[in-house]
């Protein structure tokens, strides 16, 4: 954990904003919040990946999860959240464009409601709000078709 | 919540530098190891020696030419990387594969200190297309994997088509593998 100094203890979550919606991600997965540095794009065939950024001397893939979460590409964003994905047990930093400030929160996590997208592992109770807790791995491996359906789910909820 | 300071990118590994060719396909920059390229020709210079070939499942290959009694297949880099069609001016004849790549423009030779692995997030055909990524003058540029231009299976299929053309007398000479 670097300059963000997130408490990685269980039960700690980073609240993040994508579009005008708030989501929660386990703080244990989050490394830092980075400024909107230059995105480098090149031809590829991987869904949701829009390019790479360079962060601390490492090349970090950028996932635009906004089409799944809010039904449209992220467009102009303010930060990158750097979180870890694991491939065969090896962590790989991954960047997610965000539209607003992040904050840390602790709270009770209730099971996800019926019909919730597969990448929602529960709902975090914070100040009388129920904030969906994202499963990063399930989110970024979500198919485009599922994404469209899930965007419709969020628009109704 | 504090935001980490902006940091400048730096190579993570120190290795012997590698000479590479920086080239363009449309507006996209690519790198290829200089030692992976046998020869660079103009498309005009190769036109008279190239024969048309049409394999429906491999539209990226439109021509081939003979070299040392073997067929070498000309691959459109635009089609290979699924980029918008351009008007290529040059052909990079590869050393490790019987393929020649149609590209737009050679920018210059560069020395690359490190090739970074392609992040695992990239899981599509690009894992075959690229050796990795290089950082050059504030840009991340994909490094082409020469053996990924045509697979062995694709070369075998193309050889078969080329041999058929030769047998049918559609072309002069004896292009075959």
Domains and CATH numbers, chain A: 12-156 (2.40.50.180)
Nearest to A61 by CA among B94, B168, B140, B91: B140
* Closest Cα in chain A, distance from residue B12 (Å): 6
Backbone angles phi and psi of B35, in degrees to 5: -75, -10
* Closest Cα in chain A, distance from residue B175 (Å): 33
Q: Choose among A3, A43, A87: nearest Cβ to B120.
A: A87
pLDDT at A93 over 60: yes
Subunit contact A35:B3, Cβ cutoff 8 A: yes
**Starting at the edge strand that comes first in sequence, how are the strands of the sheet with B105-112 ordered?**
B105-112, B18-25, B28-33, B139-144, B130-136
* A70-102 as b/e: b if 16+ CB within 10 A: bbeebeebebbbbbebeeeeeebbbbbbbbbeb
pLDDT at B134 over 90: yes
In Å, the largest CA–CA distance within chain A is 44
Cα B97-B168-B64 angle, rounded to 5 deg = 25
Q: Choose among B3, B119, B139: nearest Cβ to A79.
A: B3
Given this model, what pLDDT does residue B158 score?
95
Q: Which of the 8 DSSP states describes residue B116? A: B
Nearest to A18 by CA among A75, A86, A92, A85: A75
- Interval A19-35: pLDDT, tens: 888 999 999 989 999 99
Which residue of B1, B82, B134 is the best one to mutate when testing the A interface, meaning the one whose CB has the most A CBs within 10 A?
B1
A10: confidence class by pLDDT, cuts 50, 70, 90: very low
- Give B123's contacts in chain A (Cβ within 8 Å): 46
- Interval B145-158: pLDDT, tens: 999 999 999 999 99
- Interval B86-113: pLDDT, tens: 999 999 999 988 999 999 999 999 999 9
- Give B116's contacts in chain A (Cβ within 8 Å): 58-59
* Closest Cα in chain A, distance from residue B160 (Å): 29
Chain B residue at shortest CA distance from A87: B120
DSSP-assigned beta bridge partners for residue A55: A58
Given this model, what pLDDT does residue A14 score?
94
- Give B9's contacts in chain A (Cβ within 8 Å): 54-55, 57
* Closest Cα in chain B, distance from residue A110 (Å): 26
A80: confidence class by pLDDT, cuts 50, 70, 90: very high
DSSP string, B46-85: HHTTEEE---TT-TTEEEEEEETTEEEEEEEHHHHTTPPP
Chain B residue at shortest CA distance from A43: B81
- Give A90's contacts in chain B (Cβ within 8 Å): 120
Given this model, what pLDDT does residue B176 score?
42
B139: confidence class by pLDDT, cuts 50, 70, 90: very high
Q: How many whole angstroms separate alpha carbon A99 and alpha carbon A22? A: 10
Subunit contact B1:A103, Cβ cutoff 8 A: yes
The tokens of B128 are what?
């075959």
pLDDT at A153 over 90: no
Subunit contact B9:A54, Cβ cutoff 8 A: yes
The tokens of B120 are what?
């695992």
B127: confidence class by pLDDT, cuts 50, 70, 90: very high
Backbone angles phi and psi of B134, in degrees to 5: -125, 150
- Interval B35-51: pLDDT, tens: 999 999 999 988 888 99
- Give B140's contacts in chain A (Cβ within 8 Å): 40, 42, 52, 54, 59
């Amino acid at each position: 954990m670097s300059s963000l100094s997130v408490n990685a203890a269980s039960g700690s979550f980073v609240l993040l904003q994508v579009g005008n919606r708030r989501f929660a991600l386990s703080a244990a997965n989050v490394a830092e919040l980075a400024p909107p540095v230059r995105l480098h794009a090149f031809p590829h065939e991987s869904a949701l990946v829009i390019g790479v950024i360079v962060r601390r001397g490492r090349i970090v893939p950028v996932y635009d999860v906004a089409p799944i979460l809010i039904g449209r590409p992220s467009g102009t964003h303010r930060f990158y959240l750097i979180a870890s994905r694991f491939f065969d047990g090896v962590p790989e930093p991954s960047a997610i464009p965000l539209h607003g400030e992040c904050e840390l929160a602790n709270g009770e996590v209730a099971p996800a409601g019926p019909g919730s997208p597969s990448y929602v592992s529960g709902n975090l109770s914070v100040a009388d709000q129920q904030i969906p807790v994202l499963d990063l791995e399930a989110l970024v491996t979500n198919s485009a078709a599922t994404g469209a359906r899930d965007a419709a789910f969020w628009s109704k909820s | 919540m504090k935001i980490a300071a902006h940091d400048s990118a730096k190579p993570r590994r120190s290795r012997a530098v590698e000479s590479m060719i920086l080239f363009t396909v449309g507006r996209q920059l690519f790198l290829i190891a200089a030692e992976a390229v046998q020869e660079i020709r103009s498309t005009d210079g190769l036109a008279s020696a190239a024969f048309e070939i049409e394999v429906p499942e491999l539209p990226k290959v439109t021509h081939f030419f003979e070299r040392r009694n073997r067929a070498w297949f000309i691959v459109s880099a635009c089609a290979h990387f699924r980029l918008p069609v351009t008007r290529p001016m040059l052909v990079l004849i590869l050393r490790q594969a019987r393929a020649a790549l149609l590209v737009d423009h050679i920018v210059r030779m560069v020395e690359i200190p490190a090739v970074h692995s392609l992040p695992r997030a990239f899981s599509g055909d690009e894992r075959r297309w690229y050796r990795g990524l290089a950082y050059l003058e504030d840009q991340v540029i994909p490094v082409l994997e020469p053996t990924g231009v045509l697979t062995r299976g694709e070369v075998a299929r193309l050889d078969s088509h080329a041999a058929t053309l030769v047998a049918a007398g559609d072309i002069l000479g004896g292009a075959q593998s």
